[in-house]
Amino acid sequence: MTIDDGTSRYTSPPSEAPTIRVVAMPADTNPAGDIFGGWIMSQMDLAAGSRAAQRARGRCVTIAVESLTFHQPVVIGDEVSIYTRIIKTGRTSMVIHVETWRRERHARVSFKVTEGIFTFVAINSERRPRPLPDEGD
Ligand SMILES: CC(C)(COP(=O)(O)OP(=O)(O)OC[C@H]1O[C@@H](n2cnc3c(N)ncnc32)[C@H](O)[C@@H]1OP(=O)(O)O)[C@@H](O)C(=O)NCCC(=O)NCCS
């Protein structure tokens, strides 16, 4: 029997490889000593940007962050893994779901700490929106 105590959805990371993985360092903390939320957001933006550039096969920019939730804090030394999934594409835009997971340096279990929805637009050399190539191209 499975008991849903409300925490299980935070303890099974996605099965695919993370888009980026990094270790949270002392320089990334806020004045209280936890890892700064802005640092985590920038890592999420970097991961989503990498996924977007791969899909668009070229330069992309962040146009919107529709939602961002911090479920749990990240602390110094945590291994931080960021998973991305394109959930929608338009003519030039990509909506990307981003999840951040932390694993204590010496532990085996991971926890989901943040998630959000980022939108990227593929741009050309004049910085104007550029149609996405077909996935198979
Ligand atoms: C990205 C940018 C070139 C788009 O220019 P624009 O004239 O607004 O483009 P458009 O109105 O043609 O919209 C382009 C796409 O973005 C989508 N879009 C526009 N505003 C949006 C918003 N607020 N939220 C989500 N998507 C949006 C449109 O729906 C369209 O998608 P589609 O082609 O898939 O249908 C321009 O807004 C820009 O340069 N923004 C700054 C980007 C930036 O500096 N980011 C931070 C650093 S990476």
Per the domain annotation, does 36 fall within a domain? yes
**From 121, 123, 126, 132, mutation site for ligand 1 pocket: most ligand atoms within 8 A of C-beta:** 121
Residue 33 is assigned to a structural domain of this protein? yes
DSSP secondary structure, 86-135, as one string? EEEE-SSEEEEEEEEEEE-TT-S-EEEEEEEEEEEEEB-TTS-B-PPPPT
What is the CA(121)–ligand 1 centre distance, in A? 6
30 Cβ partners below 8 Å, 6+ apart?
Answer: 36, 37
Query: pLDDT tens digit string along 74-106?
Result: 999 999 999 999 999 999 999 999 999 999 999
**Is 111 inside any structural domain?**
yes
CATH number assigned to the domain comprising residue 76: 3.10.129.10
Q: How many domains does the chain have?
A: 1
Q: Percentage of the chain with pLDDT > 70?
A: 92
Interval between CA 132 and ligand 1 midpoint (Å): 13
Residue 55 reports pLDDT greater than 50: yes
Alpha-carbon distance of 131 to 118, in angstroms, equals 18
Taking the C-alpha atoms of residue 30 and residue 12, their distance in angstroms, rounded to an integer, is 27
Mutation pick for ligand 1 pocket among 41, 51, 63 (CB with most ligand atoms within 8 Å): 63
Tell whether 53 is covered by a domain. Answer: yes
> What's the longest Cα–Cα distance across the chain?
57
Determine the distance separating the centroid of ligand 1 and the alpha carbon of 92, expressed in angstroms: 8
